[in-house]
């Protein structure tokens, strides 16, 4: 997107003029979809291939790229990560912080968004309430907009539930005595309950169009939000930043001091699946809390098997006949073991509990008249789902026990108990669905950046949609339990807003650095891809307000990075929105030398290596302070930090250092072999931790 000229200039008129030059035989008004004119200069239009080529060839056009569709990455959690209701808060500053949510809209009547006790919006707010018919903002939800096409609802009201859930997770009010049918009962609240909310509805049942996402960024930046939370992303990682609407919008936000927090994606545990890859974005993985929701299957022989599932139904302990899906098929279907819709003989299924081989979904069992279903977990599945019927998802070995019981018993019976919450002493663990690195476009920028709670999160919901999103499900709830990096992202957004209340003048990069360098190290045991899964570690809100040192970065630093990654002038300006050019230097800036809070290098397998990282830290702790470097590694590498001591005489003083990592050819013998280490700067009060991560990959 281009920048807005400072002289008298009408972007909309200019956009119409450009289209008049290239559009053939149709109305210009029908071609122009969106005009971005508040925070950056650009537009979205319907064009033929020939028209697109004509437009791209014009010298005043920075770039033309196709609009893609992005998808959503779908209580106890704040206490678990240390942000209890009693922690130190700057109440007046928190009330002035505005968090913008680009999502599915919001349900303004929810108790989580009640404005009782709130004063008028802060003076810096420049936005409006354009929520559509019967939508009213208040002093909590101070702004709302929607970006619909002709086939979508003309309202910012949330008819999916996702946007209300994310907004209340980050900034919802304290609401007592909430639960999902008695499950996870307690008090729901956001990380910054006194903060204001601006809702930008860019997502609908079919997804989130890039044209709408850019329009939402354009408005959010101009409206005056402090943090942008965006729990969505592409199905597959983008090949570069210049064709990523979120990366472009977030770059413009960063220029204005606004940090964008984005969900990493739900394509784990496979490697190289992380969809949030831009270094100016805080990319958030999902981890568990110490509350796990389970339900239990009790067989007729009184054997009890624990599974995972959010079952709000009660069968009152009554046992029902139990059948195996593979034995109750209609004649022309071979998928009955998976309980697929249309494959089950309703005469043989009605009034019974059915055993299915699939991991999720009980719509086939429901449509055939079953009273419950027992499903089979995928090997890495660790989050509970909500079902249409009483249901439990069992591990493979427990599922086999049920199958064996059916085969060995003349009249097998079972019941499924209502879900309960149990203590998980192994938390936090990375969720299996959470997308992993490496960053496919810039492998030496470690992504995700960190992790936050994202499994089984109870938060506000839309009361006009069922908790399963199925038309068969007639239940309606005000609060629901969801899992996904979509749920982790608003935890990070809430922490970013919390840090902002203590440091209102910090840059987006400084806030991001504070969150990353104070994150708690994770236990790498049994975690696939370890640092590629959790980045710097588990978010620690209270420590993030006092990081000691920060790794700051400016627009110019990111421009140098883009140049080092090989961007030409045209694509560079598509992201920057101005006349940025690459510096006239003989050597390019390596991605590993961006002033990033983590340090990552990619080398070739079975080769000796010697890599260096150049960094600069800014003192935000005590004016007179001395930090000493300590390194930790379980790998056979040698790490040298030069200098090993940094002494500061004043606040905001900067000091530079170099980290060198060397290893022999046996250290990283194969693709995706890894040498994880860390560097900690400490003055005795603050511990400033950075992952130092070297991995091997053939390129």
Catalytically annotated residues: 103, 162, 486
**Using DSSP, how many helices (H) and how many strands (E) does the chain show?**
17, 34
- 141-146 vs 196-201, strand pairing mode: parallel
3-state helix, strand, coil in the chain (%, to 5): 25, 30, 50
DSSP state of 63: -
Are the C-beta atoms of 515 and 492 separated by less than 8 Å? yes
- Token pair for 152: 């979508």
Distance of CA 440 to the CA centre of its chain: 17
- Token pair for 252: 């413009």
- Token pair for 207: 């997804």
Cα 275 to Cα 238: distance, rounded to the nearest angstrom: 7
Query: At 212, phi and psi to the nearest 5?
Result: -70, -40
Core vs surface per residue 81-116: b (16+ CB within 10 A) or e:
bebeeeeebbeebbbbbbbbbbbbbbbbebbbbbee
Helix (H) / strand (E) element for 166: namely helix 162-171
334's CB contacts (< 8 A; 6+ apart) are none
Helix (H) / strand (E) element for 377: namely none
- Token pair for 692: 């130092």
Cα 306 to Cα 108: distance, rounded to the nearest angstrom: 38
Query: What is the C-alpha radius of gyration for the chain, rounded to an integer number of angstroms?
Result: 26
Cis peptide before 428 (omega within 30 of 0): yes
E-strand stretches of 167-238 = 175-180, 183-188, 196-201, 203-204, 207-209, 227-230, 232-233
- 281-287 vs 259-263, strand pairing mode: parallel
- SS3 call for 40: coil
Q: How far is CA 516 from CA 249, 421, 551, in A?
A: 22, 30, 10
Place of tokens 């975690």: 527
Are the C-beta atoms of 158 and 105 separated by less than 8 Å? yes
Q: How many residues does the chain have?
A: 699
Distance of CA 114 to the CA centre of its chain: 26
The runs of H, that is alpha helices, within 38-110 are: 49-57, 76-80, 91-96
Residue among 492, 434, 449, 452 at smallest CA distance from 278? 449
DSSP result, 304-344:
EEEEE-B-----TT--EEEEEGGGSB-TT-S-GGGT-TT-B
Cα 421 to Cα 411: distance, rounded to the nearest angstrom: 32
Helix (H) / strand (E) element for 628: namely strand 625-633
Distance of CA 295 to the CA centre of its chain: 27
Are the C-beta atoms of 132 and 72 separated by less than 8 Å? no
Are the C-beta atoms of 297 and 305 separated by less than 8 Å? yes
């Amino acid at each position: 997107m281009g920048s807005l000229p400072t002289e008298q200039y009408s972007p909309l008129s200019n956009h119409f003029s450009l289209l008049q030059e290239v559009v053939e035989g149709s109305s210009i008004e029908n071609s122009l979809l969106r005009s971005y004119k508040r925070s950056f200069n650009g537009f979205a239009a319907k064009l033929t291939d020939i028209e697109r080529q004509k437009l791209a060839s014009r010298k005043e056009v920075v770039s033309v790229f196709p609009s893609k569709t992005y998808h959503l990455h779908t209580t106890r959690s704040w206490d678990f990560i240390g942000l209890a209701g009693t922690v130190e808060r700057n109440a007046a500053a928190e009330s002035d912080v505005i968090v913008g949510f680009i999502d599915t809209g919001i349900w303004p009547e929810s108790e989580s968004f009640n404005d009782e006790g709130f004063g008028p919006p802060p003076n810096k707010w420049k936005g409006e309430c354009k929520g559509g018919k019967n939508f009213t903002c208040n002093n909590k939800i101070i702004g709302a907009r929607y970006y619909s096409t002709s086939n979508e609802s003309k309202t910012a009201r949330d008819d999916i539930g996702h946007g209300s859930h994310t907004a209340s997770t980050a900034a919802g009010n304290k609401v007592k005595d909430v639960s999902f049918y008695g499950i996870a009962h307690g008090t729901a609240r956001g990380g910054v309950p006194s903060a204001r909310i601006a809702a930008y509805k860019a997502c609908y049942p079919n997804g989130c169009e890039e044209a709408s996402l850019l329009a939402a960024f354009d408005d959010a930046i101009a409206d005056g939000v402090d943090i942008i939370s965006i729990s969505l992303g592409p199905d597959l990682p983008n090949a570069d930043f210049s064709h990523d609407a979120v990366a472009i919008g977030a770059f413009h936000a960063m220029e204005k001091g606004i940090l964008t927090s984005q969900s990493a994606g739900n394509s784990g545990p496979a490697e190289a699946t992380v969809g949030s890859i831009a270094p100016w974005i805080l990319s958030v993985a999902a981890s568990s809390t110490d509350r796990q929701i389970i339900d239990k299957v009790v067989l007729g022989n009184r054997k009890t098997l624990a599974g995972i599932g959010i079952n709000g139904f009660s069968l009152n302990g009554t046992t029902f006949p139990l059948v195996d899906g593979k034995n109750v098929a209609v004649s022309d279907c071979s998928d009955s073991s998976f309980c697929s819709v249309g494959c089950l003989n309703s005469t043989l299924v009605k009034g019974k509990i059915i055993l299915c081989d699939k991991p999720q979904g009980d719509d086939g069992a429901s449509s055939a008249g079953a009273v419950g279903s027992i499903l089979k977990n995928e090997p890495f599945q660790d989050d509970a789902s909500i079902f249409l019927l009483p249901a439990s998802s069992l591990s493979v070995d427990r599922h086999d026990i049920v199958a064996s019981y059916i085969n060995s018993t003349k009249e097998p019976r079972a019941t499924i108990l209502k879900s309960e919450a149990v203590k998980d002493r192994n938390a936090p663990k990375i969720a299996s669905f959470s997308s992993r690195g490496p960053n496919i476009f810039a492998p030496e920028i470690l992504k995700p950046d960190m992790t936050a709670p994202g499994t089984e999160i109870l938060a506000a919901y839309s009361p006009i949609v069922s908790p399963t999103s199925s038309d068969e499900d007639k239940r309606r709830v005000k609060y629901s339990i969801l899992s996904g990096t979509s749920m982790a992202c608003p935890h990070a957004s809430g922490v970013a807003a919390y840090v902002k209340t203590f440091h209102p003048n910090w840059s987006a990069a400084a806030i991001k650095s504070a969150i990353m360098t104070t994150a708690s190290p994770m236990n790498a045991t049994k975690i696939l891809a370890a640092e590629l899964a959790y980045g710097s570690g588990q978010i620690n809100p209270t420590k993030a307000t006092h990081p000691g040192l920060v790794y700051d970065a400016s627009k110019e630093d990111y421009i140098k990075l883009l140049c080092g990654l090989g961007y030409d002038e045209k694509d560079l300006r598509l992201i920057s929105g101005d006349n940025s050019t690459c510096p006239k230097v003989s050597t390019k800036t390596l991605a590993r030398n961006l002033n990033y809070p983590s340090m990552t290098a990619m080398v070739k397998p079975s080769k000796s290596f010697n890599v260096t990282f150049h960094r600069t830290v800014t003192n935000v702790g005590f004016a007179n302070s001395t930090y000493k470097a300590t390194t930790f590694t379980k790998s056979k590498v040698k790490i040298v930090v030069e200098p090993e001591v940094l002494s500061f005489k004043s606040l905001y003083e900067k000091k530079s250092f170099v980290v060198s990592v060397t290893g022999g050819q046996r250290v990283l013998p194969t693709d995706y072999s890894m040498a994880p280490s860390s560097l900690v700067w400490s003055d005795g009060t603050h511990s400033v931790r950075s992952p130092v991560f070297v991995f091997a990959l053939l390129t």
